[in-house]
Amino acid sequence: MAFSQGTAITYYIFLVLFVSTGHVAGGCYKAIVSFGDSLTDTGNLIRMSKSSNAYVMSAVLPYGETFFHHPTGRYSDGRLIIDFMALSMGLPFVEPYFGGKTTGDRSFAKGVNFAVAGATAMDISFFTERGITNRCTNASLGTELEWFKQMMSSFCDTPSRCKQYLGSSIVLMGEIGGNDYNYAFLQGYPKEKIVSFVPKIIAIIASAVNELIEHGAQTIIVPGNFPIGCSASYLTHFMTANTSEYDPKTGCLNWLNDFSEYHNRLLQNELDRLREQYPDTTIIYADYYNAAMRLYNSPSKYGFKNTVVACCGGGGPYNYDGLVDCGSASSTVCDNPSSYISWDGSHLTEAAYKWIADGLLKGPYTTPQINGECIFRSPKTKLSDS
């Protein structure tokens, strides 16, 4: 690849500015190890469901139509934030842990994804005891950590090699916890009681981060929650004639976004505590909330014409119906997903995820900044280019 002198100098200055913000053994991340739910799942749920023949909506078109041109188990029309992260770091798309073969037959040298659509931070028993159901999966963050330990025991032959692998990887811890709130809110559980979930969920995330550090993780990204008050599923469920409950600029429900911000504040406080406990570990907060809110606040700036209305759904003011899945015979899908932020009412489009990833990788939506030495951008093709 030939650089002009001016371009090469600009690119060098860009790298120098970012290199100073972090470090990792060997200079760059060798793999991505991921945990989470449908915001990060690259195919685990559909593979787990094959044995039971359970219906998974991400296994049918139009899921995957934009980039892959077929369903991959990703809950979007195309790529997710984790896919753009891998692309920016020169790594392949992160393999789902359940890839159709036994772990001993596969190589996770460049990454492994334990995220499962529908997964919660808290164990399924917590919800069962409260009459809250998870019809998607029994998997929780604890389950994913057990899979991680099983994989590591067969993947690397000595503890030192396991630590070396994890230490040279970037660990993506979620987003996780969103479903804990989704199931409760959308099944009518009292808001006051859901608020009491937050410290428990934060403690579970912190415990998982602590465990991964003990296993050798040196760089961990911990995302906050998205603004759920802008989600078509929530906007439909909590629709009200009281206009004072909506942000007049975005159309989002203020009290639900306040709830997301409450979760995020507690999470950031806990990450500060972990940084003090582990000063030699880079613990990065990924501000999914504000990286997304800029799209709702200035949609035309980022090429969006539709913000809170879903591209694919079952009709209604927000094109969302909890009884009509995207991809079912009764649903409709928009002609141009790239002009929509919302994909199916609960998840975002590839176009939205691309801009969010751009804000995380280039700044300012991570604290501290992701190590720029490991972020490759061709001078001719930036991440945000279409």
- Domain spans of the chain? 25-229+250-287+351-371
Contacts of residue 372, Cβ cutoff 8 Å, sequence gap at least 6: 14, 15, 17, 18, 19, 21, 22
**Strand runs (DSSP E) across 133-218, as ranges?**
169-173
Positive or negative torsion for Cα 40, 43, 49, 53: positive
Positive or negative torsion for Cα 134, 173, 207, 196: negative
Amino acid 106: pLDDT = 56
Q: Does the structure show a pLDDT above 50 at 345?
A: yes
pLDDT in tens, 147-198: 999 999 888 888 899 999 999 999 999 999 999 999 999 999 999 999 999 9
In Å, how far are 37, 249, 304, 309, 344 from 339, measured between CA atoms? 25, 18, 4, 11, 14
pLDDT in tens, 213-264: 999 999 999 999 999 999 999 999 999 999 999 999 999 999 999 999 999 9
- Report, as residue numbers or ranges, the catalytic residues: 38, 344, 347
Kindly indicate the confidence band of residue 376, based on its pLDDT and cuts at 50, 70 and 90.
Answer: low
Positive or negative torsion for Cα 148, 153, 154, 157: positive
Residue of 210, 173, 142, 138 lying closest to 284 (CA atoms): 173
Q: Does the structure show a pLDDT above 90 at 7?
A: no
Burial class of residue 186, CB neighbours in 10 A (0-12, 13-18, 19+): middle
Kindly indicate the confidence band of residue 367, based on its pLDDT and cuts at 50, 70 and 90.
Answer: very high
Q: What is this structure's pTM? A: 0.90
Amino acid 373: pLDDT = 73
The stretch 320-346 carries a mean pLDDT of: 97
Amino acid 27: pLDDT = 54
**3-class DSSP state for residue 45?**
helix
Burial class of residue 302, CB neighbours in 10 A (0-12, 13-18, 19+): middle
Q: Which CATH number fits domain 25-229+250-287+351-371: 3.30.465, 3.30.70, 3.40.50, 3.30.565?
A: 3.40.50
Buried-exposed string 155-169: b where 16+ CB fall within 10 A, e elsewhere? bbeeeeebbbbbbbb
The stretch 114-138 carries a mean pLDDT of: 97
Average pLDDT, the chain: 89
**3-class DSSP state for residue 116?**
coil
- Minimum mean pLDDT range among 11-25, 222-236, 284-298: 11-25
